[in-house]
Structure 1
Amino acid sequence: MIITDTHTHLYSDAFDDDRVEMVNRALEAGVTRFFIPAIDSSYTNAMLQLEKDFPQYMFLMTGLHPTSVKENYKEELNHVEDLLSQRKFCAIGEIGIDLYWDKSTSDIQIEAFRHQINLAKQYQLPIVIHCRDAFDEVFKVLEEEKSDDLFGIFHCFTGTLEQAEKAISYNMKLGIGGVVTFKNGKIDQFINQIDMKHIVLETDSPYLAPKPYRGKRNESAHIYKVVEKLSELYGISEDEVARITTENSKTIFGF
């Protein structure tokens, strides 16, 4: 069984004390493909080091996270462009809009999101979207920018069935992680109405650990709890969940 974690922050300092052991636990659990989202320039060296330490398994994105869109956002976007001109990345991400932490930056968040969508089109790369308290704003940008060459993943999807269908209409897969195991997560109530061809797995580790690890540090090995839950909800084997979602990840990332 090959499992793909399409979104994990393995360079986080939360793993500084046991990163090698943590990656090995994931490998033993069948997770052999780790897609690593960017946040801002302060994490670039740690991401490159992660790739150097585990070259067979780590696939790096580049991008500016919406909560890092501050006064220096144009410098940060220049950093993203510089990296794209120097080497290959698997996606532009994570990008998007987050109005949970700071609504005052909404205008420049939207500008940065749109700019990075255009970079993705230029480099023929998928996007990985972060959306928190901002479905309407994200969908408005996607509607304005939609095209055959815009595609990607709606990371950590926590919306309604209607919002899921709308995200899919914009060529987005749904990134499903630990929230599907939460009693109050709600997506477990409708996710089996979505064809699994639209779903990829993720952990967002070290965040959003699934039950029974909720509230603790998440890690990629815990993705098996997401596999178990989706197997239960869809009425198919865990092997089949892993196979389909890994194939879906290949259609997005191209390998």
Structure 2
Amino acid sequence: MIFADAHMHITDLDSWTPFIASEKASPVCSCAHCEKDWKKLTDIALRYPGFVVKAAGIHPQDPDKKHCLFLSDALEKNQADAIGEAGFDLFNPAYASRLDEQEQVWAFQLEAAVRYNKPLIIHCRKALHLIFRDAKKLAKVPSAVFHSFPGSPLEALSLVKRGINARFSFGKPLLNGNKRALLCASSLPMELLLAETDAPWQTLKGETATAPSDIQKVYLKICELRNVSIEYVCSSLYENFKDSFAIL
């Protein structure tokens, strides 16, 4: 079985190899947010061809325009498979104080996703209204992957109705009892779902890090919520993963 992981951070892990279940290795999408991490990510991807979707982006928690240089270079050389994670983070006053900078790098990345025809991975905390504001522009992006989607099923479906080729990814908040995540994962159409670990982040109480192998726990939770088999979830989410990231 294949447990595709739609969002993680290989460069923040001490080491990484593809997760193997039933003798099959599982692909991941991993993000890099600076030139140093991008080089590390591309080197790792070369060692595991076919198993790492490489995303380059400017994270809203560090919306420094200097990062536009490495992203532009990666896109010009057609080295980036996707852009992100990009978006907005208004979770606390420190992040919210940099909203103007977040707006600038978001606009840059949204424009780039359209220009280079790349999937866009979206980070959004306390800022879903800004995503809805830009729905018309997002509808021009080949696909939009909402990492750890914070909204309700109604909001997710409303984004799709606005013409956005969106998928909504969920991780360990499902294991932590997050009500919105649970409701989305249990009720959204299967073709809109993705699963992730955000490894090594998004830990549960008592954990110091999230392991890439925790993706299996997320899949099993989706099985429980929807009362379907693990084979069905693995197959469905793998197809969604391939479609989201334009993998043949």
TM-score w.r.t. structure 2 length? 0.89
The answer on 1:178 being equivalent to 2:172 is: yes
Number of paired residues?
242
Q: Out of 49-58 and 2-11, give the one that drifted further.
A: 49-58
Confirm or deny: 8 A CA contact 2:170 2:185 kept in the other structure: no
Q: Tell me which residue corresponds to 1:92.
A: 83
Confirm or deny: 8 A CA contact 1:66 1:95 kept in the other structure: yes
TM-score w.r.t. structure 1 length? 0.87
**Which AA in structure 2 matches 1:135?**
L
CA-to-aligned-CA distance 1:112-135 (integer Å, 9 cap, x gap): 112111111111111000001111
Confirm or deny: 8 A CA contact 2:7 2:147 kept in the other structure: yes
The root-mean-square deviation of aligned C-alpha atoms, in Å, is 2.0
**Which AA in structure 1 matches 2:45?**
E
Unaligned runs of 5+ in 2: none
Q: Tell me which residue corresponds to 1:129.
A: 122
Confirm or deny: 8 A CA contact 1:209 1:219 kept in the other structure: no
**Which AA in structure 2 matches 1:243?**
S
Label 1:27 to 1:133 Cα distance change in 2 as closer, same or farther (>3 A): same
Confirm or deny: 8 A CA contact 2:142 2:165 kept in the other structure: yes
The answer to which structure has the higher helix fraction is 1
Matches within 5 A, 1:149-228: 149-169=141-161, 170-209=164-203, 215-228=207-220
Unaligned runs of 5+ in 1: none
What is the rounded CA distance, in whole Å, between the counterparts of 1:53 and 1:122 in structure 2?
A: 29
Equivalent position to 2:105, from 112, 137, 141: 112
CA-to-aligned-CA distance 1:201-249 (integer Å, 9 cap, x gap): 1111001246xx7633112211111111111111110110011011011
Confirm or deny: 8 A CA contact 2:148 2:170 kept in the other structure: yes
Label 1:99 to 1:218 Cα distance change in 2 as closer, same or farther (>3 A): same
Confirm or deny: 8 A CA contact 2:195 2:237 kept in the other structure: yes
CA-to-aligned-CA distance 1:179-208 (integer Å, 9 cap, x gap): 112124442134322101000111110012
The offset of 1:158, in angstroms, is 2.5
Percent identity reads 24
What is the rounded CA distance, in whole Å, between the counterparts of 2:68 and 2:187 in structure 1?
A: 38
Label 1:182 to 1:214 Cα distance change in 2 as closer, same or farther (>3 A): farther
Equivalent position to 1:238, from 211, 230, 240: 230
Confirm or deny: 8 A CA contact 1:152 1:171 kept in the other structure: yes
CA-to-aligned-CA distance 1:50-72 (integer Å, 9 cap, x gap): 213323422211111111113xx
Label 1:229 to 1:106 Cα distance change in 2 as closer, same or farther (>3 A): same
